[in-house]
Every structure is written in structure tokens, then in C-alpha cells.
């Protein structure tokens, strides 16, 4: 396992060691001891989630507020997605900036997003199976979001907006300007 730091403090791209032969492949997708040592965190995941989506589906940008904030370790089991994390930690030097990582079933990359970030992904392949671990349980009352096409953040989603498939909720999220003074993470 190799950990690559991103420009956003606390966000890491995880490169797993994959063993391949004529039978297929094997890799250790998570080892708490190695993960905590290499990332300098002490993360205990309590919930696993999985979704399957078709090309153009954009899920996000989501976050949980307050005591229900969540760190996530995300990966793609099948297909290809553009995964995005937006720093919403007001005291962070990268407040309002984002990182995008292409995750595929073939590259086996994982992306760690700590608490205090908005998160979303866009399916770039015909279908994709997305899997992620959370360090806190989902709480509907603490649900928050940021509009995917916010002009301040200006995320390059690598797809024409006419191809995007959004839930009604995700199509109507507030802008960064609307939430930047009310959303607060440490």
C-alpha cells in the first residue's frame, strides 16, 4: 500500500499492491493498522455503502454536518467514475478548493476524504459499482449539500452538462456562496 497526498490536507489517494496472475488478481483493500500508520489518522469505519449507476449519473456533492460528519474511503469495483472532494473546512488554507480523482475497477485506486468535505462522483463508463466506508452513521437531519456546478468552485466534471443525470435533490443544492458562512467544519 502506498499513500499519495493531495493538495487538500487530509485527502489521500491510496495505491494498493495488486497481485495478478493467470487466475485474476488479489489485493488487500483495507488494513486498519497500515491505513492509520500511512495516513496519520485513527479512523474507525462503521458503515459500508454500495451503489450502482449508469453513465452520466452524478451523485453529490454531499456532506453530513456537526457530530454526524463523515470521513469516507471510496473505491470503484466496476466501471469508471470521476470522484470529487471539496474542502469545506473554513479554517483550512484550501477552503473552497477541490480535488478530482479518476477511480476505476482496473486501477484499484481508493480515495480517502476526511470529515469536513463535500463529496460527489460522476459515472464516466456505461455503468459503475461504487463502494465506500464511512466513519460515522448517516443522519438525515444532518444532511447537507453543495450544487455540483457551483461557479465559485468550478469543478471540471469531464462531461457535457447535457449528459448529466441528477436527482431532484442534487439538482437543487445551494451554492458555495450560500453555505460558506453557515457550514463550518474544523
* Helix residue ranges per DSSP H, 77-152: none
62 in catalytic set: yes
Query: Sheet harboring 58-64: ordered strands across?
Result: 98-104, 80-87, 117-123, 58-64, 143-145
Residue 117 CA to residue 88 CA, distance in Å, equals 5
98, 108, 119, 132: the catalytic one is: 132
Cell triple for 106: 482496473
Residue 10 CA to residue 1 CA, distance in Å, equals 17
| Interstrand relation of 72-78 and 58-64 (parallel, antiparallel or unpaired) | unpaired
Backbone angles phi, psi at 171, to 5 degrees: -75, -15
132 in catalytic set: yes
Q: Which of 11, 21, 20 is nearest to 73 (CA)?
A: 11
62, 98, 108, 148: the catalytic one is: 62
Cell triple for 22: 493467470
Which residues are known to be catalytic? 62, 132
Amino acid at each position: 500500500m502506498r499513500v499519495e497526498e493531495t493538495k487538500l490536507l487530509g485527502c489521500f489517494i491510496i495505491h494498493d499492491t495488486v497481485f495478478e496472475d493467470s487466475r485474476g488478481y488479489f489485493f488487500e483493500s483495507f488494513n486498519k493498522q497500515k491505513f492509520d500508520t500511512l495516513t496519520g489518522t485513527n479512523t474507525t469505519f462503521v458503515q459500508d455503502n454500495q451503489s450502482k449507476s449508469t453513465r452520466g449519473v452524478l451523485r453529490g456533492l454531499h456532506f453530513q454536518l456537526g457530530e454526524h460528519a463523515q470521513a469516507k474511503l471510496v473505491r470503484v469495483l466496476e466501471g469508471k467514475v470521476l470522484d470529487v472532494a471539496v474542502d469545506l473546512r473554513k479554517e483550512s488554507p484550501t477552503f473552497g478548493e477541490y480535488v478530482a480523482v479518476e477511480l476505476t475497477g482496473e486501477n484499484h485506486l481508493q480515495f480517502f476524504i476526511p470529515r469536513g468535505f463535500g463529496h460527489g462522483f460522476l459515472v464516466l463508463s456505461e455503468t459503475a459499482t461504487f463502494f465506500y466506508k464511512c466513519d460515522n452513521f448517516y443522519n438525515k437531519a444532518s444532511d447537507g449539500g453543495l450544487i455540483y456546478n457551483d461557479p465559485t468552485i468550478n469543478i471540471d466534471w469531464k462531461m457535457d452538462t447535457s449528459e448529466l443525470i441528477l436527482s431532484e435533490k442534487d439538482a437543487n443544492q445551494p451554492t458555495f456562496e450560500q453555505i460558506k458562512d453557515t457550514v463550518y467544519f474544523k
